[in-house]
Amino acid sequence: MTAYTHSALDNILKRFVKKFPEDRDKVVRFGNKNSIDQEVVDLAYNKSASGDLEEEDDILGSKMIFAVTCLGSSTKVLDGIKFDACIVDEASQIVEPVIIGPLLRTEHFVLFGDHNQLPPLVKSDEAKEGKMDVSLFEKLAVEHKQSISYLTTQYRMNENIMKFSNYVMYNNRMKCGTEEVKTGKLPLSLHKIKSNITWIPNVLNPAKNVIFLDLSRVKALHKEEGRNLNCLLTSFVARQLIVQGIQQKDIGIITPLNDDKNSVNTSLKDLEQLNRYTIDTCQGIDKSCIIMNISLSTNRIRPLLSKSRRVNVAFTRAKHKLIIIGSFHDLKDMEGIGSFIRQLDRTQDREIFDLQMLQEANIAVNI
């Protein structure tokens, strides 16, 4: 069992051991323990203290599932082992030379992926000219359509969150796997939400699965001020969720670039269990609540948001609530993300901010 990132691989393992707890002792996870999720770090491979090769063979011989990242599959510990099958998750995000490594260790393979989401990250123009940014998964999907099985049932997002990507990317083929998934809500009771800030209950209302915090009416902000305001509002909303009882680990913050993520990190440095991601690092994760911080603070952000595949990843990470912070006016007419935002305007809720509302929340705005 393999994936390109540790987070994607550990997400599979967590689901597996939850579904089949009796088989936990049949799994071994290879990799640096510092890179392995705490929930499955006990599965990490421990080399025999004595270095005895027979003892090593006995340890590995008792395992049925070997979990390792694609790059980690080159470990010498696996030399000489031929696996019956290799399962690769997030295969559409892996460059071909990297995915070949684990495939050479197996008789059969199954690739899971979605070429409507992140492609392999390739920066070299020369490599792009050689089609290195097209994954083996996408090549096989195009050239061997008879071998493709479309999975149209999803078990992550509730129906309202699913509607965006379903309409824009999947021709409304997707459906929720269970009624519980379809109607899933943030575990908050509206009547228990207490705040002196008048708009907070509306934003946190669990019946409203998607909220856009629209800063279009906050005028005259320079780019850097706009970024700061987005980050301050992101931090404020995250803290409000925690105050109302949502655990840090159930909240994720997604920004377009590392610069924005670093700004958020500064204002949330005391919340160590609250995960922050960029769009290019969030594939494979899911959280009960996702806050998307989208400030158009640099010209580098627009090309990122113009790619529907990248935007699709960010919009499909939330299970119960998706909160988007940005300027609706600026985003709705953009290529890529605009298709998602316009869909929200037709069917969902917007909370439109002006300076008075922000000052009510004690969010500093310097103009």
CB neighbours of residue 270 within 10 Å: 7
On the question of a common fold for 2-149 and 159-360, the answer reads yes
> pLDDT value at position 358?
73
Rounded-to-integer distance, Cα 13 and Cα 7, Å:
10
Which token pair is 207? Answer: 């019946």
> pLDDT value at position 343?
84
Mean pLDDT in residue range 343-356? 68
Reported as a pLDDT band with limits 50, 70 and 90, residue 198 is: confident
Please name the residues in contact with 124: beta carbons below 8 A apart, sequence gap of 6 or more: 132
Rounded-to-integer distance, Cα 353 and Cα 133, Å:
40
> pLDDT value at position 355?
57
User: Is 59 within 8 Å of 53 (Cβ atoms)?
Assistant: no
At 63-87, the pLDDT tens digits run 999 999 999 999 988 988 999 999 9
Rounded-to-integer distance, Cα 342 and Cα 345, Å:
5
At 146-194, the pLDDT tens digits run 888 989 999 999 999 999 899 999 999 999 999 999 999 999 887 778 7
At 204-236, the pLDDT tens digits run 999 999 999 888 877 555 455 556 788 889 999
Which token pair is 309? Answer: 């595949």
Residue 134: closest CA among 123, 121, 151, 145: 121
Reported as a pLDDT band with limits 50, 70 and 90, residue 367 is: very low
Can you name the residues that pair with 153 across neighbouring β-strands?
A: 175
Rounded-to-integer distance, Cα 351 and Cα 353, Å:
6
Mean pLDDT in residue range 5-12? 90
Residue 65: closest CA among 19, 127, 32: 19
Sorted by where each begins, the domain ranges of the chain are: 2-149, 159-360
> pLDDT value at position 259?
84
Own/partner contacts of 192-201, CB < 8 Å, gap of 24 or more, are: 192/244, 193/244, 194/244, 195/240, 197/240, 197/360, 197/361, 198/357, 198/360, 199/351, 199/357, 199/360, 200/240, 200/361
Mean pLDDT in residue range 339-362? 72
Homologous superfamily in CATH for domain 2-149: P-loop containing nucleotide triphosphate hydrolases (3.40.50.300)
Mean pLDDT in residue range 262-271? 88
CATH ID of 159-360, from 1.10.10.10, 2.60.40.10, 3.40.50.300, 3.10.20.30: 3.40.50.300
**Whole-Å CA distances, 30 to 6, 42, 45, 69, 81:** 10, 11, 5, 8, 14
Which token pair is 237? Answer: 């909303």
- DSSP structure class, residue 165: H
Instruction: Tell whether the model's pLDDT for residue 365 goes beyond 70.
Output: no
Share of residues in the chain with pLDDT > 70 (%): 90
Which token pair is 283? Answer: 């594939």
At 332-348, the pLDDT tens digits run 889 999 999 888 777 65
Q: What's the mean per-residue pLDDT of the chain?
A: 87
> pLDDT value at position 178?
97
At 12-70, the pLDDT tens digits run 999 999 999 999 999 999 999 999 999 999 999 987 555 666 767 777 888 999 999 99
Kindly give the pairing relationship between strand 318-326 and strand 210-214: parallel
- DSSP structure class, residue 120: P
Instruction: Tell whether the model's pLDDT for residue 263 goes beyond 90.
Output: no
- In terms of average pLDDT, the best of 254-263, 287-296, 350-359 is 287-296
